[in-house]
Structure 1
Amino acid sequence: MSDQKPLPDSRRRFFLKASGATLSAGASASAAAATVAESSSRVFDLRTEALPLVRFGLIGVGQRGGFLCKSLTAIEGCRITAIADPDAAVLQRAAAYVEKAGQPKPVLYGGGERDYLKLLERKDVDAVIIATPWEWHVRMSVDAMNAGKHAFVEVPAATDIEGCWELVQTAERTRRHCMMLENVCYGREELMLLNMVRAGLFGELLHGEAAYIHDLRWQIKELERSTGSWRTLWHTRKNGNLYPTHGLGPIAQYFGINRGDRFLYLNSQSSPARSFAAYSQREFPPEHPRNKLQYINGDLNTSLIKCASGRTIMLQHDTATPRPYTRHNFVLGTNGAFGGFPARIALEYLDGKKRMSADGKHEAFHEWEHDMAPWQKRFDHPLWKKLEALALKNGGHGGMDFIMLWRIVYCLRHGLPLDQDVYDAAAWSAIFPLSCASVADRGNAKDVPDFTRGGWQSAKPWPVVDIQL
């Protein structure tokens, strides 16, 4: 589906009514704020009715959605009651996961791309998980919330600024949760680092670095099915950071973005686009359709985000070059730094005492410490400590997927606010279109809309939550 296709009718009506014109990707925060009705109410720390049993409907159960389906069957207190996917094979596979777990077979909807609307009509669906191609995320999330369901949508939640605003407006109007499934926020290292930051270990935070560097050229070979059959095409449509949230989400939580701070503007530049075309030419004959495509997304995109506090974030995207995986996960403060891949730490003071090298000849922060065991013992997050065995048993990117889903179910069952809200989904996803707009404009700065409309100034940073098992 081309991203140049006109907005669906419902989205077009919303924006014409709100502002009389569709916003561009680089619209200012003040202009964007005018698109949201003055009467709308913020959904910070939204609490909804407690659900003793959380009944899920799944929309999209291919590679990612199928894994999420299987993972949910291992979590107490939830059921999968309905599944929608136009692909009969993956639909039946997902149903088999549910039945193998000893649960009733879910009702299946496979009658076409819009058969998911029938799933949303069901009274036995409280929340939906959306794991479909990106261009469907906003439409399906909005439809779910309008039907009274909580929406949990894969990353990115939206691919344009209009979609980000529509998610915010709909969540506020319906009072339903809209959470982007940013699983990396639940990784052991990221949870530990959040705990360290909240403990003030690094002093005042100054700078962060985030990335999604992951060689995905092989997805070009997925022609008819699986992620590469549609994701590859985005590299022929846009030039920017197409997938910003895996690295950025945790940094945003460390910095308290939307909760005491916010993204202000960004500048972005891309390298030449070479590696996808070169890979395609090696792997396919000259006349193959993949070799007819024009890959325009730069192999490496680098964006610099300025925050209202003055802090900076360097964010990178590269799914095209042959090098090791990394998300950077780097924070720098007045008392030291932490970096990921591999994990390492350097601090000047700890517990009020200056740290020195083992031989006492120089300050400890001049060398990285790579042994994380002592730091994990002291700073592992309560969620990880209590769920480690279950997380490792059920897998999913080192256990982060299981902890994310478990935490969602826990919050819904207890009527608690979620760890990520619709403002996070909008702000983190907005980097995609804004980076593209900046690249197209010689790297000039593009304002990041304030999706909270000033609410970030009084909202409190998310705490290091504990749980009762």
Structure 2
Amino acid sequence: MASTQTKTNMENTRRNFLKKAGLSGLGLVAASPFAAYATTPEELASIGEQAARTPPQVFNMSGYAAPKLDVVRIGIVGIGNRGMGAVERMNKIEGVAIKALCDLRPERVNLAQKLVEAGGHRPQTYSGSPEAWKKLCERTDLDLIYILTPWALHTPIAVFSMNHGKHVCVEVPAAKTLEECWQLVETSERTRKHCMMTENCCYDFTELLTLNMARQGFFGDIVHCEGAYIHNLQELIFSKEHFYQMWELTEMYKRTGNLYPTHGLGPICQVLDINRGDQMDYLVSMSSNDFVLGNMARSLAASDDFYKPYAGKPYNGNMNTSTIRTKKGKTILVQFDVSSPRPYSRIQLVSGTKGVALKYPEPARYSTGHEWMTEQEIKALEQKYMPPIVKKMGEIAKNVGGHGGMDFLMDWRTIDCLRNGLPLDQDVYDAALWSSIGPLSAWSVAHRSNSIDVPDFTGGSWQKNKPVDISMTRGGNTQAKV
């Protein structure tokens, strides 16, 4: 066994190598077909440095239960496409008081205010200024800040909110850079405030069923999983109205890699007990060229001057494929494609030594051998393994809506945990780790698909943290106002 000094020297050597790989490894970047992308050499160097960080854990937020809140007083920042939906859903949950609303656009805030007032509360509004959200977060009468802004604001608002004594729910991805991932972790640990990334796909009924099946041993030892975000967003990305100030299109030429990994990855990580019994070890990523977005931008610019600033940009490749190996020798495949004319898919493949599940193309299928189960066999399986949270709230969630009900189920569950003093299903380590695939994949793509270590945001506590429990053995007493 290596001595302590030898281990220290090895760690220093590893860190120096990664630092040099980011800086002096620019020959690899120059030789890469993605050298022109906006992920600069300096940013790539930072990713290498941040990936090698191993800071000590200040406080373990995994399994942390904050003091009970009889009423969860909420401030919502970002009343865009998803923000308005969050206002509508939270307005239908017992024990919630929406006390403040913020968006750059006054008309969006006014519309949301009317919805909240219909539920019996009169929220204060903030708008007009790019930093109006700070005044909202500084209030002393709020418990939770719900962040539904463009990606670039997720971490700054989350960190500011926790530093001002608030729990945080933040949309996906929670962070764009590894530095931001570490900021979230360190701030949550220091303030002991929850930082939950609102990964709604973890609350899709099929994913919850699969998770419960995994917990009950249906798959045996899980060996390999696959997830994805394959969603043809061509029209929405170039829409002048859908993504305010074209922020989504702008994101598509700033980096190349898996820019949106968490929808497919989150449920898989829960099935594999990532951060809670196993941990990601290293990642390899590869991207195709862009054959769609650049052509669309040039075609639109030819007849509309509005699109001229977007013509000639080096857009993210159409398909990114990233593969991850865990500490316990499991493998994960994650794909990202929002510009190809393909049917929607998150794949959701779970393959073990005794069985397999595959959600897409729907309906979901299951097998323990050479053939998929029959429809009758699958119904019996669902009856046996359907988790209590779906049995209790599934129909209510479907009636409220939000991606088939999973959005409401997620919000209801989060509020119920806060009101009962229970740990949240997703913690800051999940937010950081799942989001980190974005910058890590960008580094690997730029370095001709070389592997890069995945940071351990838990500081080693993954070896003792308990698996996530969405079985509702406690709590579940919060009512829905529908």
Shift of 1:468: 3.7
- What is the aligned partner in structure 2 of residue 453 from structure 1? 459
What letter is aligned with 1:33?
Answer: T
Q: Following TM superposition, where does structure 1 have runs of at least 4 consecutive aligned residues deviating by more than 6 angstroms?
A: 2-5
Return the alpha-carbon distance in structure 2 between the equivalents of residues 433 and 39 of structure 1: 22
- What is the aligned partner in structure 1 of residue 67 from structure 2? 49
Return the alpha-carbon distance in structure 1 between the equivalents of residues 62 and 225 of structure 2: 24
Q: Which 10-residue stretch deviates more, 456-465 or 272-281?
A: 272-281
Do structure 1's residue 27 and structure 2's residue 49 form an aligned pair? Answer: yes
- What is the aligned partner in structure 1 of residue 15 from structure 2? none
Seen in structure 2, the aligned counterparts of structure 1 residues 23 and 80 have a Cα distance that, compared at 3 Å, is farther
Shift of 1:287: 5.7
What is the TM-score normalised by the length of structure 2?
Answer: 0.86
Shift of 1:366: 1.4
Asked if the contact 1:63/1:227 (under 8 Å) is kept, the reply is no
Seen in structure 2, the aligned counterparts of structure 1 residues 407 and 272 have a Cα distance that, compared at 3 Å, is same
What letter is aligned with 1:418?
Answer: L
What letter is aligned with 2:76?
Answer: L
Q: Deviations over 1:420-462 (max 9, x none)?
A: 0000000000000000110000000011100011000111211
Matched residue SS, 1:91: helix
Q: Which 10-residue stretch deviates more, 276-285 or 49-58?
A: 276-285
- What is the aligned partner in structure 2 of residue 66 from structure 1? 84
What is the TM-score normalised by the length of structure 1?
Answer: 0.88
Matched residue SS, 2:63: coil
Do structure 1's residue 463 and structure 2's residue 482 form an aligned pair? Answer: no
1:309 counterpart (328, 335, 340): 328
Which structure 2 residues correspond to residues 271-350 of structure 1 after superposition, within 5 A?
A: 271-286=288-303, 288-291=305-308, 292-341=311-360, 342-348=362-368
Seen in structure 2, the aligned counterparts of structure 1 residues 329 and 227 have a Cα distance that, compared at 3 Å, is farther
Matched residue SS, 1:460: coil
Shift of 1:236: 1.1
Asked if the contact 2:257/2:438 (under 8 Å) is kept, the reply is yes
Asked if the contact 1:269/1:302 (under 8 Å) is kept, the reply is yes
Asked if the contact 1:222/1:228 (under 8 Å) is kept, the reply is no
Seen in structure 2, the aligned counterparts of structure 1 residues 287 and 63 have a Cα distance that, compared at 3 Å, is closer
Asked if the contact 2:39/2:442 (under 8 Å) is kept, the reply is no
1:171 counterpart (188, 193, 197): 188
- What is the aligned partner in structure 2 of residue 369 from structure 1? 373
Return the alpha-carbon distance in structure 2 between the equivalents of residues 86 and 464 of structure 1: 36
Do structure 1's residue 442 and structure 2's residue 440 form an aligned pair? Answer: no
Do structure 1's residue 88 and structure 2's residue 88 form an aligned pair? Answer: no
Shift of 1:26: 2.7
What letter is aligned with 2:334?
Answer: L
Write 1 or 2 for the structure with the bigger share of helix.
Answer: 2
- What is the aligned partner in structure 2 of residue 258 from structure 1? 275
Matched residue SS, 1:82: strand
Return the alpha-carbon distance in structure 1 between the equivalents of residues 270 and 57 of structure 2: 28
Asked if the contact 2:50/2:179 (under 8 Å) is kept, the reply is no
Matched residue SS, 1:33: coil
- What is the aligned partner in structure 1 of residue 231 from structure 2? 214
Q: Deviations over 1:357-397 (max 9, x none)?
A: xxxxxxxx211226242222111111111001210110001
Shift of 1:220: 3.2
Q: Which 10-residue stretch deviates more, 271-280 or 173-182?
A: 271-280
Asked if the contact 2:71/2:419 (under 8 Å) is kept, the reply is yes
Which structure 2 residues correspond to residues 109-128 of structure 1 after superposition, within 5 A?
A: 109-128=126-145
Seen in structure 2, the aligned counterparts of structure 1 residues 257 and 155 have a Cα distance that, compared at 3 Å, is same
Return the alpha-carbon distance in structure 2 between the equivalents of residues 218 and 81 of structure 1: 35
2:398 counterpart (385, 392, 400): 392
Shift of 1:222: 2.5
Q: CA RMSD in A?
A: 2.1
Q: Deviations over 1:98-129 (max 9, x none)?
A: 1122x222000114111111111222211000
Return the alpha-carbon distance in structure 2 between the equivalents of residues 170 and 370 of structure 1: 49
Shift of 1:307: 0.6
1:378 counterpart (376, 384, 391): 384
Asked if the contact 1:220/1:280 (under 8 Å) is kept, the reply is no
Return the alpha-carbon distance in structure 1 between the equivalents of residues 110 and 314 of structure 2: 35
Q: Give me the identity figure in percent.
A: 42
Asked if the contact 2:230/2:346 (under 8 Å) is kept, the reply is yes
Return the alpha-carbon distance in structure 2 between the equivalents of residues 457 and 27 of structure 1: 24
Do structure 1's residue 203 and structure 2's residue 220 form an aligned pair? Answer: yes
Structure 1 portions without partners, runs of 5+ = 8-20, 349-364
1:239 counterpart (229, 232, 256): 256
Asked if the contact 1:344/1:368 (under 8 Å) is kept, the reply is no
Asked if the contact 2:347/2:359 (under 8 Å) is kept, the reply is yes
Asked if the contact 1:59/1:128 (under 8 Å) is kept, the reply is yes
Return the alpha-carbon distance in structure 2 between the equivalents of residues 370 and 96 of structure 1: 49
Shift of 1:343: 3.8
